[in-house]
Amino acid sequence: MSLAEVMVAGERLLLHPYRALYWPRLRWLVVSDLHLGKAAHFRKAGAALPEGQDEATLKRLDLLVGHFRPERLLFLGDLFHSHHNNQWEPFLQWANAQTMELHLVVGNHDILPEEYYTEAGLRTTIGTLSEGPFAWAHEPVEHPGAFSLAGHIHPGVVLHGASQQRIKLPCFWFGEKGAILPAFGMSTGLFRLRPETPDRVFCCTDRAVMDVSNSFDRARKWKEKE
């Protein structure tokens, strides 16, 4: 595993290939867009999907928790996909077995009644959670006076190489006023970003987080010419 390190707003953040962010000073582990229960959600809507995805998602979370031993695990929205279904219970079990603090910044898909979260021991914040120089919210919006950290859009980038090669990968995106985390959940799709100056972009492979900001140099140089 090869992690990347980034300094923003005077704080050091670690980016993990599993598409998670770690804030060492306060020992926060942050993940976004798990979309648990999505398969079951679609099954109820008539699309009969098998499961197994949620289990894998939670397993990766266990590995991260074991690695960082965080004090707080922050879900940056879209933890559970819409209405209650039978996939909530495995999550509830998992949550109740945890010792660290669990915190959810509510996303557009988090529409369960509050008592569900209470039962799972999840603290919830609607809107923005402020901590240190950061404003933590589900949807990427500007927060004057703070550096915003968000999820929601499932960011990805396409890298181009010689001889018409291209790769599409999930990524962390860091702009001047905020950053966006990749989706932690499986099979959630990617929204392609087109980074501009002076954005920093870190893409995730299975084994590494890599700084690919200078891949977008070409666009940058072209802009400068104008």
Partner 1 sequence: MKGQPPDKGILPKRSSKRKNGKAAPSPVDRWFAEQGWTAQPFQHETWQYMSLQRSGLLNAPTGTGKTYAIWGGVVNAALLDTARAKAPGLRAIWITPLRALASEIAESAQRMCEATGLPWTVGSRTGDTTAKQRAAQKKQLPHLLVTTPESLHVLLSQKGSATLFKNLDWFVADEWHELLGSKRGVQVELALSRLKALRPRIGIWGVSATIGNLEEAMAVLLGVDPDADPDLTSEEFPTGRYDRGVLVRAQISKPIEMHTLLPERVEHYPWAGHLGLKLAKQLLPVIEASTSTLIFTNTRAQAEIWYHHLLEIAPDLAGAIALHHGSLDRKLREWVEHALDEGRLKAVVCTSSLDLGVDFRPVETVVQVGGPKGVARFTQRAGRSGHRPDAVPRIWFLPTHALELVEAAALRTAIGTNNVEPRQPMVRCFDVLAQYLVTLAVGDGFYPNKLFREVRSTFCFQGINAEEWAWMLTFITTGGSSLQAYDEFRKCAMDEDGLLRVTDRRIALRHRMSIGTIVSGASLSVKYLSGGHIGTIEENFINRFRAGDVFWFAGRSLEFVRVRDLTAFVVKSKATKGKIPSWQGGRMPLSSYMAHILRDQFAHASPTTGAAPELIAVQPLIERQRRDSIVPAENELLIERFKSRAGHHIVVYPFEGRVVHETIAALLAFRMSLLKPITFNMAMNDYGFELLSDQPIPIEEAIDNDLFSDAHLLDDLQRSLNATELARRRFRDIATIGGLVFEGFPGRHMKERHVRGNSALFFEVFSEHEPDHLLLRQAYDEAFNVQLDLPRLQAVLQRIAGQRIVLKDPERFTPFAFPIVVDRLSGMNLTSEQVEDRIRKMTEKLEKP
Contact residues: partner 1, CB under 8 A: 39, 42-43, 45-53, 159-167, 169, 187, 189, 203, 205-208, 210-212, 214-215, 217-218
**DSSP at 189:** -
Q: Which residue has the tokens 């980074």?
A: 195
Contact (Cβ atoms closer than 8 angstroms) between residue 110 and residue 77 = yes
Contact 156, 169 (CB under 8 A): yes
Q: How far is the CB of 28 from partner 1 (least distance, A)?
A: 27
Closest contact distance (angstroms) between CB of 43 and partner 1 is 6
The Cα–Cα gap between 42 and 38 comes to 6
CB of 165 to partner 1, least distance (A): 6
d(CA 28, CA 145): 21
Nearer to partner 1, 48 or 97 (CB): 48
Q: Which CB, 66 or 161, lies closer to partner 1?
A: 161
Paired residues of 88 in beta bridges: none
Comparison of 99 and 163: residue with beta carbon closer to partner 1: 163
> What is the number of residues in the chain?
226
CB of 1 or CB of 9, closer to partner 1: 1
Q: What gap in Å lies between CA 215 and CA 161, rounded to an integer?
A: 9
Q: Considering beta carbons, is residue 97 or 162 the nearer one to partner 1?
A: 162
E-only strand ranges, the chain:
4-8, 11-16, 20-23, 28-31, 72-75, 101-105, 122-125, 129-131, 134-136, 147-150, 155-160, 166-174, 178-180, 191-192, 200-204, 209-211
Distance of CA 139 to the CA centre of its chain: 11
Coil, strand or helix at 117: helix
Q: How far apart are CA 212 and CA 200, in angstroms?
A: 8
Of 108 and 118, which CB lies nearer to partner 1 in the complex structure? Answer: 108
